[in-house]
Amino acid sequence: MKKLYFLLLISAFSLTVFAQSDENMGIIPVPASIKKNSGQFVLDKTVVLVSAEATNAKNADLLNAFIVSKGGFALRTEKALTKGQKAIVLTAVGADELPAEGYSINISTNEIKVVGKDAGLFYAIQSLMQLMPEKKNDKITIQAATIKDYPRFGYRGLHLDVARHFYPSSFVKKYIDRMAAYKLNTFHWHLTDDQGWRIEIKKYPKLTTIGASRNGTIVGNYPGTGGTDEVPYKGHYTQEEIKEVVAYAASKYITVVPEIEMPGHASAAIAAYPELSCFPERDTWVGENAPWSGTRKGKQVQQTWGVFDDVFVPSENTFKFLEGVLDEVITLFPSKYIHIGGDECPKAYWKESAFCQQLIKDLNLKDEHGLQSYFIQRMEKYLNAKGKSIIGWDEILEGGLAPNATVMSWRGVDGGIEAAKLNHDVIMTPGSMGLYFDHKSSASPDEPLTISGLQSGFSNYTKVYNYDPVPSVLPAEQKKFVRGVQGNVWTEYIESAEKVEYMILPKMLALSEIAWGQLDRKNLTNFTEERLPLHLAKLDGAGTNYWVPTPIGQTAGILNGKEHTISLKTPVAGAKIYYTLDNYRPTETGALYTTPFKVNVPEGKKKILKTVVITPSGKRSVVLETVLNNGATDVKTK
Ligand code: ACM
């Protein structure tokens, strides 16, 4: 018990040291400007919380609840400041002069003055909560400083695919909580796909009675050889649940952008209403798309991943159906944007279909790409007339871009560049730059089953951090069309909420830094060594799963030389690094790293440094190996 108390004390101490010494006071995303001043504000129960405007009441409550959890005391709240009273003052006075969503915090010895309104004030509170060190003797001692802050981009997005795997709305709310804490403001909810339709549509009940269930799920990597598990899998959100999530997100200044996929990725809708297909009588599972077991007859919700030929037929019946769906979607989501998908729509069925070929002729279109463009433009017109704008994946450029569409660039950055050059708004979300968070963080065999390796490589937080969403090749006047950046979370291989967290953290924190932080404030070393360890320690204590980074200062691969100095830092405050040099896998029984040390390698030999990071809650990093080589001939250079 004594030992546990001591450990808790040590970890609280290390969090405090991190926050106080860091030039950015531990805040993620990095503020636009931060200047430390001399002196400290001592927060104890004599401090008063002053909040004059009724519109700020929620933010005042949020701060007070945090102080209760952190300090063990609540602050008395007042409407006005009494002269000489030590206070935290929240005010909207002066907020109109700040950039959109901006705020300022001025911490002096007698007062913390927070200026902001709506989202700006909410973000100020997030920063204030982050910079507060741990309490000591019932006091929280805060470094005096002046912080001015505002976002680089207006669109700061995180996506979640709930079609391949489904997560309850309680988890979606937790996801939203994390986004809000890091000043992300757009939740892209991918609600429909081949493997499941997840939103209740009252006019078309079969979308969920049939389209929300599949009879099994592929085992292992697609296309694989393991067959499906033959376990029925289902789930959807009722409209009441959707409304609740949307309202919850709005209370945290997050807009929910729904995605209804068209014209491809439509198998679940077609399973429910086969007449939406070019070939209603044709079985879903034909040729190489067939999974290895289960019934093969009729239209089916897909059990494997990939892209399927059976897409929406561009008939009047389909348009009527999609308009009916969107009518309900519009009433549920106040977002200006509706995402209509548009990606990965194979043209094989449209090529084969006499109806589609006749339509191409009748409409004087060039080919099937023209037909896709016609499809998207019709939907855009419908939505524009209802006061909504569309976003689509970058394939909507093919065959001609819909006049008012925003393009989400996912197949690299070229789609974004092309759209910006056409003066269209763009959201950058290229998989090749680390923004596909479903890709694995490292090449270690310790990583769980993921998609990466099959597609466009790794996604780890440093790769995300190093990405600048504004392509340098764009002329200055077209750079402004890049409205923001987003991380995507496709869930083919993410069966559980815990694995979602493992895949997105800490990448999401790096995303917040590139989405909110000003370009000239980017500093990977400060992020990795000063701020991230503190945030990961908090996540660790909060029961959130995350990818534990490998030791700071260790690089994977081969280091040549006779004498090596091993100098490491823990990537999570309070975590321990264990290592071996004897080829065994490090665990708690390995050597505990405490201080830099030297390793001598005899001539013609090598030694392998293997490390593992173990966090206070027992989470582990992958084992990282560095070969310390002094001329051994059996060392493979990659
Ligand atoms: C996508 O990843 N198919 C947008």
Confidence class for position 287, pLDDT limits 50, 70, 90: low
Between the alpha carbon of residue 301 and those of residues 88, 304, 350, the distances in Å are 56, 9, 20
**pLDDT tens, 191-207?**
999 999 999 999 999 99
C-alpha triplet 427, 432, 435: angle, nearest 5°:
50
Is 265 catalytic? The answer is yes
pLDDT top residue among 453 and 483: 483
**pLDDT tens, 104-128?**
999 999 999 999 999 999 999 999 9
pLDDT top residue among 488 and 456: 488
- Between the CA of 410 and the centroid of ligand 1 the distance, in Å, is 7
Task: Report the chain's mean pLDDT, rounded to a whole number.
Answer: 94
Cα–Cα distance measured from residue 602 to residue 34, given in angstroms and rounded to the nearest whole number: 50
- CB-ligand 1 contact for 498 (6 Å cutoff): no
- Between the CA of 483 and the centroid of ligand 1 the distance, in Å, is 19
CA 620 to chain CA mean position, Å: 22
Length of the chain, in residues: 638
Cα–Cα distance measured from residue 342 to residue 338, given in angstroms and rounded to the nearest whole number: 12
Cα–Cα distance measured from residue 117 to residue 125, given in angstroms and rounded to the nearest whole number: 11
- Provide, for the chain, the percentages of residues in helix, strand and coil under a 3-state DSSP scheme, each rounded to the nearest 5: 35, 25, 45
- CB-ligand 1 contact for 344 (6 Å cutoff): yes
Extract the tokens encoding 513: 């830094």
Taking the alpha carbons of 31, 37, 43, 47 in that order, is the dihedral positive or negative?
negative
Site of tokens 């599949």 = 214
Give the position, in ligand 1's atom list, of the atom nearest the Cα of 436.
2
How many other CB atoms sit within 10 Å of the CB of residue 534? 23
- CB-ligand 1 contact for 461 (6 Å cutoff): no
Q: How confident is the model over 567-582, as a mean pLDDT?
A: 98
Is 275 catalytic? The answer is no
- CB-ligand 1 contact for 411 (6 Å cutoff): no
Confidence class for position 293, pLDDT limits 50, 70, 90: low
Largest CA distance in the chain: 83
CA 529 to chain CA mean position, Å: 21
**pLDDT tens, 154-167?**
999 999 999 999 99
Residue 451 pLDDT greater than 90, yes or no: no
Residue 152: strand, helix, or coil: coil
**pLDDT tens, 36-70?**
999 999 999 999 999 989 889 999 999 999 999 99
**pLDDT tens, 215-273?**
999 988 887 777 888 899 999 999 999 999 999 999 999 999 999 999 999 999 999 99
Residue 637 pLDDT greater than 70, yes or no: no
Give the position, in ligand 1's atom list, of the atom nearest the Cα of 431.
2
The best mutation among 344, 456, 489 to test binding of ligand 1, ranked by most ligand atoms within 8 Å of the C-beta, falls on 344
Check residue 193 and give its pLDDT.
98
**pLDDT tens, 135-191?**
999 999 999 999 999 999 999 999 999 999 999 999 999 999 999 999 999 999 999
Catalytic residue among 53, 244, 323, 344: 344
Residue 374: strand, helix, or coil: helix
How many other CB atoms sit within 10 Å of the CB of residue 9? 11
Confidence class for position 453, pLDDT limits 50, 70, 90: low
Residue 523 pLDDT greater than 80, yes or no: yes
Check residue 622 and give its pLDDT.
98
- Between the CA of 346 and the centroid of ligand 1 the distance, in Å, is 13
